[in-house]
Amino acid sequence: MTTMATPTKPVPDIEQAQYNPKSESVTAKRVKSGIFHAVALALTAVVLYPALWMIASSFKPNAEIGGANTSLWSENFSMDNFVTAMDGIGGVSTLTFFTNSLILAIGSVVGTILSASVSAYAFARIKFPGRSIFFGMMIATLLLPFHVVIIPQYIIFNQLGLVDTYVPLLIGKFLAGDAFFVFLMVQFMRNLPAELDEAARIDGAGHVRIFTAIMLPLMKPALISTSIFSFIWSWNDFLGPLLYLNTPDKYPLPLALRLFVDQTQSSDYGAMIAMSVLALLPVLVFFLVFQRYIVEGVSTQGLKG
């Protein structure tokens, strides 16, 4: 562990031929650790500043947000901005936007879990002709700029009379549209021992039983990270709702937020930022609760790409 540390730190003397980390004194280690934490904490402050600024501003009166006021603290913290923000916009309460976002996010999670796990099982555990070709195509869709499909998709949904409904936003999730999650689950299943299926097959189990009774329970970690990420992605999605939703009472939060910005035109900065905070609140809560899962998910599954 200590030796791993050496190439990354700003060690002053590169030419030091007899460098031996084990000979470091205890004080030298303490100094190094002190420097590390000083640098890392400073970085943390910079990285988190925009988020802290957002939260602090949401409690400040309008006059203190702009102008010569960079400090995060204020004497005049109040909930006024949130009260205004909760009123909503265009006669629709913010609670409605919140509910809409929630419906879309939960629909996305359910659809993705169902469709991606089933499809991933086919890729990972069943041998059938064409599998590797389809798998290659699935990987290719990971790299596909989605703009190449949005125009025809819009035309189709428009002809079917499905514009201004949630169908165009959710149908893709029920058809394993987020290839990333299929890929993630395929990788996860491939690392489960093959003997499990073999044994079950000898006992006469078919694919349906192997999938539901053996794979699904073992896949819990992959299912959890899929749920978390598909929830957050849906929650933050903007382009989809922007394309398909026209009536404000169907808007999810990001779209409502844009409407809010358009209509108030920065006259009420405080309320705008308060609403931004409200829109991010579930994501922030998710992050605080599941941060281990989220970060581990990125580091292990991202790597497997």
Partner 1 sequence: MTQSPTLSRRSASPSAPAPRKSKRSGADARAGYTFLLPWLLGFIALTVGPMVSSLYLSFTNYNLFEPPKWIGLDNYTTLFQDERFLQSVGVTTSYVVFGTPLKLAAALAIAMLLNSARKGQGFYRSAFYAPSLIGASVSIAIVWKAMFGDSGPVDQGLSFFGINLGGWVGNPDMTIPMMILLTVWQFGAPMVIFLAGLKQIPADLYEAASMDGAGPIRKFLNITWPMLSPVVFFNLLMETIHAFQIFNSAYIISNGEGGPAGSTLFYTLYLYLRGFSDFRMGYASAMAWLLLIVVGIITLVIFKTSKSWVHYSGDAK
Residues 13-42 within binding reach of partner 1 (CB under 8 A): 14-21, 33, 36-37, 39-40
The site for partner 1, by CB under 8 A, has a size of 119
- Minimum Å gap between C-beta 269 and partner 1 is 7
Q: What is the DSSP string of 123-174?
A: HHH---TTHHHHHHHHHHHHHS-THHHHHHHHHHHHHTT-TTSSHHHHHHHH
Nearest approach, Cβ of 37 to partner 1 (angstroms)?
7
If the CB atoms of residues 20 and 75 are measured against partner 1, the closer one turns out to be 20
Please, which of residues 249-288 interact with partner 1 by CB under 8 A? 253-254, 257-258, 261-262, 269, 272-273, 276-277, 279-280, 283-284, 287
44 is an interface residue for partner 1 by CB under 8 A: yes
CB of residue 122 vs partner 1: minimum separation in angstroms?
Answer: 4
Candidate segments 83-91, 96-104, 217-225, 235-243, binder of partner 1 by CB under 8 A = 235-243
CA angle 86, 91, 97 (to 5 degrees): 50
Are 147 and 141 in contact by the 8 Å Cβ rule? The answer is: no
Closest CA to 173 of 92, 253, 103, 114: 114
Concatenated DSSP letters of 41-78: HHHHHHHHHHHHHHHHHHTS-HHHHSSS---S--TT--
Residue 102 beta carbon to partner 1: minimum distance, rounded to whole angstroms: 16
Q: Is 93 in the site for partner 1 (CB under 8 A)?
A: no
CB of 133 to partner 1, least distance (A): 9
Question: Which residue in 25, 75, 91, 152 binds partner 1 (CB under 8 A)?
Answer: 152
- Could you tell me which of 288, 275, 272, 190 has the C-alpha nearest to residue 232? 288
Return the half-sphere exposure (C-beta side, CA atoms, 13 A cut-off) of residue 262: 8
Among 103, 118, 214, 216, binds partner 1 (CB under 8 A): 118
